[in-house]
C-alpha cells in the first residue's frame, strides 16, 4: 500500500502521526499525550480531509 499513517512516540514520549506516501513523509501531526488522541487525529483526517478546501497563499 502506497499511503500509510504511522503512529509513533517521539523523544518526549508524546504520540505523533506521520502520513507517508511511498515511504516519503507528507506531513506529521503535533504531539498527543495519549494514543487515543493520536488515533482521533487519524480518524479526523480520514473523515474531513477529502472535503478540505485548498488555500493557495503564493
Dihedral sign for Cα atoms in the order 16, 22, 23, 24 = negative
Which residues, 6 or more positions from 30, have their beta carbon under 8 angstroms from its beta carbon? 16
Read off the pLDDT of each residue in 19-45 and give the average, rounded to a whole number.
Answer: 96
Adjacent-strand bridge partners of 4? 20
Residue 33 has pLDDT above 90, yes or no: yes
Across all residues in the chain, what is the average pLDDT? 95
Task: Tell me the mean pLDDT in the region 17-38.
Answer: 96
Report yes or no: 46 and 39 within 8 Å, Cβ to Cβ: no
pLDDT the model gives residue 1: 64
Greatest C-alpha distance within the chain = 36
Question: Which pLDDT band holds residue 2 (cuts at 50, 70, 90)?
Answer: confident
Q: How far apart are CA 24 and CA 2, in angstroms?
A: 10
Amino acid at each position: 500500500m502506497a499511503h500509510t499513517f504511522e503512529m509513533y512516540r517521539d523523544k518526549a514520549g508524546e504520540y505523533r502521526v506521520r502520513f507517508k506516501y511511498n515511504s516519503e513523509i507528507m506531513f506529521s501531526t503535533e504531539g498527543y499525550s495519549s494514543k487515543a488522541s493520536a488515533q482521533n487525529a487519524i480518524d479526523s483526517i480520514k473523515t474531513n480531509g477529502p472535503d478540505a478546501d485548498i488555500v493557495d497563499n503564493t
